[in-house]
Homo-oligomer: A and B are copies of this chain.
Amino acid sequence: MKKDYLKIYRRELFDRCIPFWERHSIDREFGGYFTCLDRDGTLFSDDKYLWLQGRAVWMFARLHNEVAQDKDWLELARQGADFIRKHGRNAEGRVYFSVDRQGRPIHIQRKIFSEVFYIMAMTEMARATGNASYLEEARELFWQIYDYWQNPGKLGRPMLAGTRPATALAEPMVFLCLLEELTRLDNDGRFAVIEEEMTEIALRHYKPDRGLVFENVSTQGDVMDTPQGRLLCPGHAIEMGWFLARLGQKNGDGELVRTAADIIDKSFDGGWDPEYGGLYYFLDAENRPPLQLEWSMKLWWPATEAIYALLLGWSLTGEERFREKHDRMHEWALTHFSDPDHGEWFGYLDRRGEVTHTLKGGEWKGFFHLPRALLYSVQVLEGLSSKE
């Protein structure tokens, strides 16, 4: 049974996902990656989104570092890294949200996520090349966004009198994600302190008595009775679950692993649509109408995160509950998202599981969630089979 999954994920990753992006996303003239790709790879916009540029650099470099050093993945990563280093940052060092094909800036967000994926790109390039300048840039930008996080006014978003002081789940998540990457290369003692701080903040979003992870809680960690406060995003909660499970595994913290496994398990249960299958994008904890128009859609990335998280939960705990859920998620995802004709996965389905968007990539979907989850799943399964 396990063997089958390993074969399937290898095939999805190496035969169906990676070739799609190698073939269609590389801009061989200006560098960087196209991501607005229709079903068969046809370009429908040549704008470049920095979240997705950084993520693709990271992903190609990761493949080089952990799968095969003899393929040209490092070159595909490097041409993206060159592009974002040349065009990605403004005079204050902030990273743009989007630039045009040649690299002229279009939009900058008052958020830190473009920076997050830029840092991921730099760390994995540092690992791939040993070139210290990548790690230097990653470190410098990490401290810059840690400062923004502590002083959000510096991003230009005014804090008005009626704003409810809160943390968003994405904040501790991205810092934990970056720390996993940075601590691999740099033993700066401050990282351990921030890792602890962010773990504590992340866990404030989880309410074990209700089995729910809230997207936004007050800065004291309390649930807020507002649409923002009641908001759930099961895919996000599951992704946080596996971040914490890996962290617990790294630090030999069995209690954190058990909590993380519960987060994955309960978030999957709460997010699953018993009528049509798949994970809802958003829910309201009190069953009030979510404000997001797309709340009932089924997106690819909660599915990819769940597949890996449930496999990881199973491998770490050996508990059967993860196996059944993994198999259910796997079956639904492969049937509904995977495109038999052109490879890669569709990104957006309606509640019933019908494809609403033919695109394989866009402003938010690139070479990241699917290949990362497939690679990590392959690694879990290889680990298990080597133990047998």
Contacts and interface: CB of A to CB of B under 8 A. Distances in A.
Does more than half of chain A's interface fall in helix, strand or loop, or is it mixed?
loop
A293 B291 contact: no
Question: Which of under 10, 10 to 19, 20 to 34, or 35 or more describes the interface residues of A?
Answer: 35 or more
Interface stretch (A15-23, A100-108, A119-127, A195-203): A100-108
Copies of this chain held together in the complex: 2
B226 A47 contact: yes
A193 interface: no
A348 interface: yes
Interface string A287-305: 0111101111100000000
A158 B96 CA distance: 12
Of residues A162, A291, A358, which shows the largest number of chain B Cβ atoms within 10 Å of its Cβ? A162
Contacts of A358: 289
Contacts of A104: 160-162
Contacts of A289: 38, 44, 357-359, 362
A350 B350 contact: yes
A100 B228 CA distance: 13
B44 A160 contact: no
Interface of A: 36, 38, 44-45, 47, 96, 98-100, 102-108, 156, 158, 160-164, 226-227, 288-291, 293-297, 348, 350-351, 356-359, 362-363
